[in-house]
Amino acid sequence: MTLAATRIASSDLHALSIAKASELIRRKALSPVELTQALLDRAALLDPKINAYILATPDLALQQARQAEREIMVGNYRGAMHGIPYGAKDVFATAGIATTGHSKAYIDFVPRTDATAVAKLKRAGAVLLGKLSTHECAHGGPSFDLPWPPARNPWNLAHFTGGSSSGSAAGVAGGLMHAALGTDTGGSVRIPAALCGTVGLKPTYGLVSRYGIIPNSFTYDHAGPLTWTVEDCAIVLQALAGHDGKDRASASRPVPDYRAALTGDIRGLRFGVLRHLHETDVPVPPVCRAALDQAYGVLQSLGAVLEDAAIRPITMTSRSRSLNPRFMRCTSTSCAHAQATLARIFSAARLLQCLSVPPITFRLNASAESCWRKWSNSMRSTTCY
């Protein structure tokens, strides 16, 4: 007995939402193997230009897809992520698969355990297509002197993807996968989602475990999904959320039904609009301002209440690119957290290879190298998370 052949052409399967694909898979109208193979074929055609992948894992993906199909055929359907292909930013540890952080420092690093987010998606029956590009160690910007090229924006290869979850956004926007895992310390899910035209979610701190993720800044780091639609983001978040004792910042609270909460009714919901950020503080091009105004109009047409609000202004002149001192202190604090965290894990040589911001003064303790070895061997960075 086999799954019924889908009436959707293989060349169009990439355009399915997770919600639609999962319903077809549940009804045995779409084979996870067929879906996975279609995305692998599309990646083989397009990724040489997009560079979303650092490492594709087609054999593993097809193996997991076949396993999902066997389980579904005998009635063991695990839920909406069962048989759904996704990619993982290459800062998520994957057992037996290289996890490089897009850096020479990690080029030979093969974890023995999965990051909790990867493990949860595996338990949900999702199919891992491969590891995705990022800014080096999820920090700084795109680099051209690394073993792998930076990801390109699928809408225009000459345009920036945003970062640091660059490959995650490019992969979803290019139709190479239905979902991707990203991390967000200072916008690294939200910025590439915006620039590549996808949905990106930075979950509430502590909602999604960061265990097994190469750390950037322990008080700022988040892990979240990138997808085509808000509903798809809710589906992936459902599989990711929940307490994890391996992450000391993980919240112990019930996980609600995120998808059920998407009623579409936002009448009376109040939105604060920070117009001064893009109108006066750092004026954006007219086309961007028009897009924002259009988005505000959509919310109002749905019954939302929009109110202008203000926060501490950002000062950035086009000539000097100078920031006001308050903002600089905030930025320096996050960089200090990032560098201090990396210092616990890398030796001095590895640290200098990874950092792409001006160094600040700190002292490596005597156990830095042993900490790196312990973390890379067991994926248990107890001093960080």
Distance CA 87, CA 294 (A): 32
Q: Check residue 245 and give its pLDDT.
A: 97
| 89 in active site | yes
Q: Is the pLDDT of residue 321 over 50?
A: no
Q: Lowest mean pLDDT: which of 85-94, 291-300, 371-380?
A: 371-380
Q: Mean pLDDT of all residues in the chain?
A: 86
The closest of 119, 26, 132 to 87, measured between CA atoms, is 132
Between 350 and 222, the more confident residue is 222
**CATH 3.90.1300.10 domain range(s) in the chain:** 10-240
* Active-site entry in 188, 217, 250, 381: 188
According to DSSP H, which parts of 142-213 are helical? 166-173, 190-196
- Per annotation, catalytic residue among 22, 164, 166, 209: 164
Q: Report pLDDT digits (tens) over 260-286.
A: 999 989 999 999 999 999 999 999 999
Q: What are the pLDDT digits (tens) for 32-76? A: 999 999 999 999 999 999 999 999 999 999 999 999 999 999 999
Q: How confident is the model at residue 15 (pLDDT cuts 50, 70, 90)?
A: very high
The one catalytic residue among 22, 89, 209, 250: 89
pLDDT band at 383; cut points 50, 70, 90: very low
Residue 256: which residues within 8 A CB-CB, separation 6 or more? Answer: none
Q: Give catalytic status of residue 164 as yes or no.
A: yes
pTM of the model: 0.83
pLDDT in tens, 180-230: 999 999 999 999 999 999 999 999 999 999 999 999 888 899 999 999 999
* C-alpha dihedral sign at 173, 176, 178, 180: negative
pLDDT of residue 46: 98
Q: Is 208 strand, coil or helix? A: strand
Provide the CA 23 distance to its chain's centre, in angstroms.
24
Cα three-residue angle 275-224-138, rounded to 5 degrees:
85
* Per-residue pLDDT, 327: 38
Give the pLDDT confidence score for residue 269 in this predicted structure. Answer: 95
**pLDDT per position as a tens digit, 123-158:** 999 999 999 999 999 988 888 889 999 999 999 999
**Rounded distance between C-alpha atoms, residue 138 and residue 172, angstroms:** 18
Q: pLDDT: is 89 or 315 the higher one?
A: 89
**What architecture (CATH level 2) is domain 10-240?**
Alpha-Beta Complex (3.90)
Q: Tell me the pLDDT band of 329, cut-offs 50, 70 and 90.
A: very low
Mapped onto helix, strand or coil, the DSSP state of residue 127 is strand
pLDDT bucket at 375, cuts 50 / 70 / 90: low
Q: Which two tokens stand for residue 46?
A: 């397009």
Q: What is the mean predicted confidence (pLDDT) over 169-176?
A: 98
Strands (E), the chain: 53-56, 85-89, 127-132, 179-184, 199-200, 222-227, 270-273, 305-308
Confidence of residue 338 (pLDDT cuts 50, 70, 90): low
Residue 179: is its pLDDT beyond 60?
yes
Q: Which of 207, 154, 146 is nearest to 177 (CA)?
A: 154
How close are the terminal C-alpha atoms of the chain, in Å?
Answer: 47
